[in-house]
Each structure stands twice: as C-alpha cells, then as structure tokens.
C-alpha cells in the first residue's frame, strides 16, 4: 500500500499523505504554504461511489470526504509536521461538521498510506487529546487511504484563482 515517488530533480524519495478537514479549498491552501510540500490536489475519498462529482458529494450520500492529497519530501517536512498543521487548521471535535459546513463530506480524517503514518497519527492524536487543548473528544478518523478521486478543475487551487466565497478556516 505504500506509495513512493521519485523527485527526479533532487533524487529524493517523495511521500504522499491525504487529509480531510472540512471544505477542501482552505485545507489545500494551508498545505501549499508548507516548505517541502511538492504538490497538492483536492478530491474525494473514503466513500462508496466511483468518480463522484462535487454535486454528488454535496448531497452527503456518497460517503466521500472532501480531501487534500499532499505529495511531500520527507527530508524537508515530516509527516508529523503535516499532522500539526492538519490539526491546527480545523476543529477535530465536531463530528461531520466544520463551522457552517455540515455533512460527512466535511469530516475530520487522516487517510494513511503505510503503518508508520498510521502509528504516528494515532500516537499524536492521543497526545493531543491528553494535552487538554480540547475539552471535547477528538473525532478524527484514521483509516487506510482508499482510491482518491481528483475533484473538478475549478476546485483545484481555488483561492489562487481569486475566489473568496465561503469556507472559513479555523
């Protein structure tokens, strides 16, 4: 299940991570700012239908989450640092909801690609829960990464296209 890429310029091995933390526009923008993140894509994953459209996912009936696939250089940024960012940009205690956006497509989830990512995410979530930062339970799902369906082109790098509608980052 482990996915490996080769960064031909640097000769580094690149890795992939996929996160869901509410509306994917803002989540993608946050990850694009990180040094060591080589590329990002927004899409749908974790549901039951194949090749879902945005409209279908919006109905909350496909089971897919709005997610961001991140390709990163682990020699520059660690999975742990990506997790820190992930948990800092949303409220992981609101089940199937981020602020005004309600539905399972807005759930908090980490889709892992190897046992190491899984273990790191679980350990970190436990520490975060124990830190007292949140009064309520962290409901982030930690599950194996299933197929990722890239979203429609107009959703990719949405904010870089000058759009500013909706989507609040926490």
- Cβ(58)–Cβ(7) under 8 Å? no
Q: Which runs of consecutive H residues, i.e. helices, occur in the chain?
A: 24-32, 54-58, 79-88, 115-130
Question: What six digits make up the tokens of 161?
Answer: 């296209």
Q: Confirm or reject binding of residue 164 to ligand MHO (CB under 6 A).
A: no
Specify whether 23 is catalytic: yes
Q: How many residues does the chain have?
A: 170
CA dihedral 110, 111, 116, 121 (to 10 degrees): 10
| Cβ nearer to ligand MHO, comparing 23 with 121 | 23
Q: Confirm or reject binding of residue 127 to ligand MHO (CB under 6 A).
A: no
Least distance from ligand MHO to the Cβ atom of residue 24, Å: 6
Among 19, 24, 31, 79, binds ligand MHO (CB under 6 A): 24
Q: Hey, which residues between 28 and 67 contact ligand MHO (CB under 6 A)?
A: 66
Q: Confirm or reject binding of residue 166 to ligand MHO (CB under 6 A).
A: yes
DSSP state of 161: G
Stretch that binds ligand MHO, among 17-25, 75-83, 111-119, 131-139 (CB under 6 A): 17-25
SS3 146: coil
Instruction: Tell me the residue number closest to ligand MHO, measured at CB.
Output: 166
Catalytic residue among 14, 20, 21, 23: 23
Q: Hey, which residues are catalytic here? A: 23
């Amino acid at each position: 299940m482990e996915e490996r890429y080769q960064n031909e310029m640097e000769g580094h091995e690149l890795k992939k991570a996929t996160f869901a933390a509410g509306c994917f526009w803002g989540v993608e923008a946050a990850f694009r700012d990180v040094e060591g993140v080589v590329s990002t894509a927004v899409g749908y994953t974790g549901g039951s239908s194949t090749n879902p459209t945005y409209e279908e996912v919006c109905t909350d009936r496909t089971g897919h989450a709005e997610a961001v696939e991140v390709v990163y250089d682990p020699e520059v940024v660690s999975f742990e640092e990506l997790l820190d960012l992930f948990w800092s940009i949303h409220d992981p205690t609101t089940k199937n909801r981020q602020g005004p956006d309600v539905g399972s497509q807005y759930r908090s989830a980490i889709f892992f690609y190897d046992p190491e990512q899984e273990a790191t995410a679980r350990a970190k979530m436990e520490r975060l829960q124990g830190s007292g930062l949140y009064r309520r339970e962290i409901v982030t799902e930690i599950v194996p990464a299933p197929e990722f369906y890239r979203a429609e082109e107009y959703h990719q790098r949405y904010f870089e296209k000058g759009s500013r509608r909706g989507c609040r980052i926490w």
